[in-house]
Amino acid sequence: MKKINILDKKVANRIAAGEVVEKPASVIKELIENSLDAKATSIKIEIEEGGIKSIVITDNGCGISSEDVETAFMPHATSKISDLYDLDNIKTLGFRGEALSSIAAVSQIELTSKTEEEDLGTLLTLEGGDVVSSTKISCNVGTKIIVKNLFFNTPARKKFLRKPKTEEAEITHLVQKLMMANSDVKFKYIVDGKIIYNTMGSGLFDVIYTIYGRETAENLIEINFKKDKYSINGYIGTPEISKANRTYQTLMINNRIVQNFLVSNSVANAFEHFLMKNKFPFFVLNLTMPFDSVDVNVHPSKQEVKFENNNMIYNMFYTATLDALYSADHVKNISISNENEVQNVEEELKTALPIYNNIKVIEEANSNYVESDSQPQIQEVDVNFGISFKEAQAQDKLFKFEGGLPILNAVDNEMVFNKMEYKEEPFVLFSEKPKIIGNIFNTYIITQQKDDIYLIDQHACHEKKLFDNLVKSVDENQVAKQNLLVPYIIKCNPIEKVFFEENIESLNKLGFTIETLNNDLIISEIPFLLANIKIEDFIQELKENLKMVNKKSSDLIRDFLAQTACKHAVKGGDVLTIEEIESLINNLNSDMVLLCPHGRPIVVKITKKEIEKWFKRIV
Ligand code: ADP
Ligand code: MG
């Protein structure tokens, strides 16, 4: 009995559709990419009920001529490649000729399109891949495609669709990415009749502002990096706006959205010394490179990419990011007035700078002022020099230590970082010696340089300095150790033991001499700095780190150094002598990055112009 059948074209096509058309978002991706390939400069996307009920994409691209309209819906119909040579030189987003036929196979379609040469366009309707009607119609140059009732003829697939809101969220995420990848194209995105985005094609910065809002836009560092035929352009977020997951990372190659672990790793490693724990940097970066050195065809949905030269790509992103982070000033600008008028100061403050600790001071000062109903109250400035701070003096050696760049051996994987020629100048805060005005709340030092006033957080500033020095001494294997007359013995379970054995090298670098014997941990030397901290507590903390899977040893070191620096730095509220303040300020003149090890700002700037606006001397 005959068992093998050749599937009829329609069945085969409906099966193939499953690969391209998984969900509404994949339909939208294909359709927008078609519009982009057609050189559209304006694209409108409308969805209803998460795209399940309807998707409408309207573009002003080149259009499809009436003689091609029906062909476009045939499997393997493409105008983008015609032979094998073309396959190696793909510059368009689509090329497989599968999308329209696959989408048509599982939906009801209405396509209107016209090319420049034609007087009249074509209106084609299809159902389940079959042409229902074709008529001439008067319309604009470009293409409008309506996709209705997705999976109406494949109930099994329809069942797998998620709730409309979930599908919608995924579409919105996709539209965001495509807007960023094509920031010179105007996008209008409408969900259930409501305009969500309406961009002007005015560049990446504006798109980021539209999508992520003002706070993010105000915290971007631009990257423009070039090496041979490669360039990296776009923005990274400052450490303060780092996120809890990777969904705020956008990578493009030749303006195509891709995903690549190597690159996100490289950027994350460059951020390592600027970021709080478990945070992921924000970035939107486009890599421009020769088309033949990257394989974009690895994954069917064309998101993963393979590079010819992984090492070089890794290093480029690492260098570009690190240089951008070092060259950025990280100084917070206080701007509580908008261009024309000081409005609701408090409101403005909240939207302008919601996450800076420093803002509390200003808010408090402000509310004090409002509360005092009788005479106008001037905030008293507590200028206090005199009594010295013991803790810092005990660490005098560290305090005066000359600073270096806080670069640990950051790259924990096999990739070795070689610094490349490109280098931005590190930012230096004070071009000349600033005038020290005083100190408020025993916490913020006020200095003036020309027309700018700087508030400096004494704790964050000292902490950062100590941290940089500690990093340097660890890097140079110069951590002072203290020999213990009686070694500490700490009992471990087998898992803890393995953990310590695996990290013994890092712990040695930090100044510990540790051996494991059976299930005991024997500590014979400890870092000098830990002499007055309870060793048990520290070891306990390390054990707790066990819970964090895959904690890298460089993270361990960094956390340890940050903690140590924090413990030994002068605190907010400590009274400093003028010499001590000067010493702190001098530190700022080195190439120290103005963020504390937890990623918080050290310096806040207020311009004279800003103050004049407060008093309405200028508007
Ligand atoms: P591919 O994009 O891989 O070529 P598709 O099935 O997505 O395959 O599209 C088939 C063809 O239809 C394209 O090659 C293109 O010529 C034409 N086409 C599709 N969408 C548009 C559009 N919005 N504007 C102009 N031409 C289009
Ligand atoms: Mg296509």
Task: Summarize pLDDT for 421-452 with one digit per residue, the tens.
Answer: 444 566 778 878 889 998 899 899 999 988 98
Of 175, 113, 176, 167, nearest in space to 145 by CA? 113
Is residue 75 in contact with ligand 1, taking CB distance under 6 Å?
no
- Rounded-to-integer distance, Cα 512 and Cα 495, Å: 20
Q: How far is the CA of 112 from the centre of ligand 1 (A)?
A: 13
Of 285 and 382, more confident: 285
Tens digit of each residue's pLDDT (9 = 90 or more) over 186-204? 999 999 999 999 999 999 9
Tokens 């940097």: give the residue. 281
The pLDDT score that the predictor gives to residue 136 is: 96
Share above pLDDT 90 across residues of the chain, in percent, rounded to a whole number: 36
The pLDDT score that the predictor gives to residue 62 is: 96
Of 47, 218, 221, 35, nearest in space to 143 by CA? 35
Tens digit of each residue's pLDDT (9 = 90 or more) over 215-226? 899 899 999 999
Strands 444-449 and 452-457: antiparallel
- Rounded-to-integer distance, Cα 600 and Cα 615, Å: 29
Q: What are phi and psi of 280, to 5 degrees?
A: -120, 135
Of all ligands present, the nearest one to the C-alpha of 102 is 1
Confidence of residue 504 (pLDDT cuts 50, 70, 90): confident
Confidence of residue 387 (pLDDT cuts 50, 70, 90): very low
238-261: buried (b, 16+ CB within 10 Å) or exposed (e) per residue? bbbbbeeeeebbbbbbeebbbebe
Is residue 580 in contact with ligand 1, taking CB distance under 6 Å?
no
Q: In ligand 1, which atom is closest to the CA atom of 145?
A: 23
**Arithmetic mean of pLDDT over the chain:** 78
pTM exceeds 0.95 for this model: no
Asked whether residue 321 carries a pLDDT value surpassing 80, the answer given is: yes
Is residue 36 in contact with ligand 1, taking CB distance under 6 Å?
no
Q: How far is the CA of 576 from the centre of ligand 1 (A)?
A: 70
Task: Find the angle CA(127)-CA(131)-CA(134) to the nearest 5 degrees.
Answer: 120
Residue nearest to atom 25 of ligand 1 (CA): 63
Confidence of residue 241 (pLDDT cuts 50, 70, 90): confident
Confidence of residue 568 (pLDDT cuts 50, 70, 90): confident
- Rounded-to-integer distance, Cα 113 and Cα 43, Å: 14
- Rounded-to-integer distance, Cα 42 and Cα 297, Å: 27
According to DSSP, the residues that pair with 448 across neighbouring strands are: 435, 453
Of all ligands present, the nearest one to the C-alpha of 122 is 1
pLDDT (average), residues 54-59: 98
- Rounded-to-integer distance, Cα 425 and Cα 37, Å: 40
Most informative mutation of 100, 103, 126, 256 for ligand 1 (most atoms within 8 A of CB): 100
Q: What are phi and psi of 390, to 5 degrees?
A: -65, -45
Q: In ligand 1, which atom is closest to the CA atom of 62?
A: 25
The pLDDT score that the predictor gives to residue 519 is: 81
Q: Could you say which DSSP state residue 432 is in?
A: S
Cα separations (Å) of 318 from 209, 313, 324, 415? 25, 9, 10, 11
* Secondary structure of residue 370 in the 3-state scheme: helix
